[in-house]
Amino acid sequence: MVTRTRKLGRTAIPRLLGVATHVGALIPLASILWDYWFYQLGADPIRDVTLRTGKSALILLGLSLACTPLNILFGWKQLIPLRKVLGLYAFLYASLHALTFVWLDYGLDPGLIREAIFQKPYAIAGLATFLLLLPLAVTSNRWSRRRLGKRWNQLHKLAYVAAVLAGLHFLWLVKGAYSRPLVYGALLSVLLLIRVPPIREKIVYWRRQLTKRMLGRSTSDV
């Protein structure tokens, strides 16, 4: 009976996390559609949609990169499968963000788009971020992973570069209100530092030692 309960727990938790991830990731999109339908996008609807899709892409990309560090820190292996889902949702919102920029804001005018990209640093960083996320989304399937082999891992390390460029895009876009971009940058720096092999190995060692001590205390209490 206990074994069956544990098996159910092992399967139920990942399923619940998966459902929660899908629902949570779709809430911003549902909110935008709701506000559009009921004319609640504000005085500048295009700017509102641009900011909200960009913010969602940034948050989801950060959450995708946080799964591995959280596993390293706390041993939460259930989060690892969510990296792909969160990354794809980040790409979805990045695509909507870019589409809003080139279509709704600039009317698909090549001249205006080219001028905006090359005259505004935040637009260059945003374009570079999208171009880096594109091959990651395309190769996120199992077939691509088998086909690319070791090169797949190397390719998907571009997510770190994309996250840094997304932070620069955010920093250059806000024009003076630097508190949120700096918080994002600080959190991203921590997430990337935890991945550094010597730091990662040390954290895993401390976590295992702490777990052994806690198990030793629990057995002694019994």
Choice among 9-13, 98-102, 150-154 with the minimum mean pLDDT = 9-13
Helix, strand, coil % (nearest 5) of the chain? 85, 0, 15
> How many domains in the chain?
1
Average pLDDT score over the chain:
89
CB atoms within 10 A of CB 166: 27
- pLDDT tens-digit series, residues 142-185: 999 999 998 999 999 999 999 999 999 998 888 777 888 899 99
Share of the chain above pLDDT 70, in %: 92
Domain range enclosing 131:
2-221
pTM for the complete prediction? Answer: 0.90
What is the distance, to the nearest Å, from the Cα of residue 127 to the centroid of all Cα atoms in its chain?
17
pLDDT band at 218; cut points 50, 70, 90: low
